[in-house]
Chain A
Amino acid sequence: MIDEMTKDGLRVSTDGIAGPYLMVPVAQLDAVLAVLDRHKVRYWVDADAISLDNEPAITVINFGRSGQAARIQAILDEAG
């Protein structure tokens, strides 16, 4: 999937302790969550979104410590 703001592919970031996460523009959130739901990926979304310099607000999808970054990245890449 493409990040509509940066026009780059959505990138799953990783942190050894916190687990993988994905920063997404709020406008794309529903579409990304639909893909994740289809693949039964577990996640939770931050309750708020941050907008810098009047750009579209971005929120974070957290996958938790048991989240599999490579699998989630593959799912998003596949979704185009």
Chain B
Amino acid sequence: MPLSDDIRGLADQVLDRVDEAREFYVHSRQAWRLVQQLARKGRPVGIVDLATKRHLPAGDLESRAQKYVTVQLAESTFRDLSSLLEDWILGLIRLWLTAYPEDMDLNFDPATGQRRGKKQEEVQIPLSRLLHLRDCSAILGGLIERVVRDLTYERPDRWFRYIDSRLSRHKYLACKEIKKPGPHRGGRAQPGRTTLARGFIGKAGTEPGPNPAHPAKAFG
């Protein structure tokens, strides 16, 4: 599958989950606001613990609802969205490195097949894991997983710098080009939808990569 399709698939998955998270937040907020109004109007709320057959006191539902909506619910939704951002960015890095594994080493010159400087780029992978992997594709996959796992523990700004440093190696994805207004010029961004022009994503999968043997196909 071309890289562009992989990226689009990942984006669709993540966007579906963003929509789900938003719906959960909105519906939960509405449900708690309903409870808050019932409590404010003094409507009796009966909650029975089926195990003990006891009526549970409704307690201070009005102020609890306020706290749940503006603090706990908002914070947990934010955490949920943060993890989606992580899945999206790290997933993108995983897909990119699968397509261009040489980008794991910024000092590697794909034109000559040689390293440019003396500085070694190291990825540590346990020997037992390496021995378990039988072919080159599997070994590269293991290395990529290791890189992505290490990035997981880094701050998000490092994720963006990592992506930027890799993508900027590919001239056809130069930042200048991405900054230009795309076909959506003048239009408003759709909430929760990326504004990255599809043309750029297409280019990532259709332009020849530095390595003639496109690794994405080897993993396919």
A19 touches B70 (CB 8 A): yes
B34 within 8 A of A: yes
A15 within 8 A of B: yes
Residues of chain B from 65 to 121 with CB closer than 8 A to chain A in the complex: 66-67, 69-71
B40 within 8 A of A: yes
Complex: how many Å from CA A46 to CA B31? 13
Complex: how many Å from CA A49 to CA B30? 8
B40 touches A23 (CB 8 A): yes
Residues of chain A from 19 to 57 with CB closer than 8 A to chain B in the complex: 19, 21, 23, 46-48, 50, 52
B33 touches A60 (CB 8 A): yes
Interface of B is mostly: helix
Q: Which of A15, A48, A58, A60 contacts B63 (CB 8 A)?
A: A15
Per the CB 8 Å criterion, the residue count for chain B at the interface is 17
Per the CB 8 Å criterion, the residue count for chain A at the interface is 17
Residues of A within 8 A of B41 (CB): 52
Instruction: Tell me, rounded to whole Å, the shortest Cβ–Cβ distance linking A72 to chain B.
Output: 15
A17 touches B33 (CB 8 A): no
Complex: how many Å from CA A52 to CA B67? 21
Tell me the B residues contacting A by CB distance below 8 Å: 26, 29-30, 33-34, 36-38, 40-41, 62-63, 66-67, 69-71
Q: Return 20 A-B CB contacts under 8 Å, by A number.
A: A13-B62, A14-B63, A15-B63, A15-B66, A15-B67, A18-B63, A18-B70, A18-B71, A21-B70, A23-B37, A23-B40, A46-B33, A47-B26, A48-B33, A50-B37, A52-B38, A58-B37, A60-B33, A60-B36, A64-B70
Tell me the A residues contacting B by CB distance below 8 Å: 13-15, 17-19, 21, 23, 46-48, 50, 52, 58, 60, 62, 64
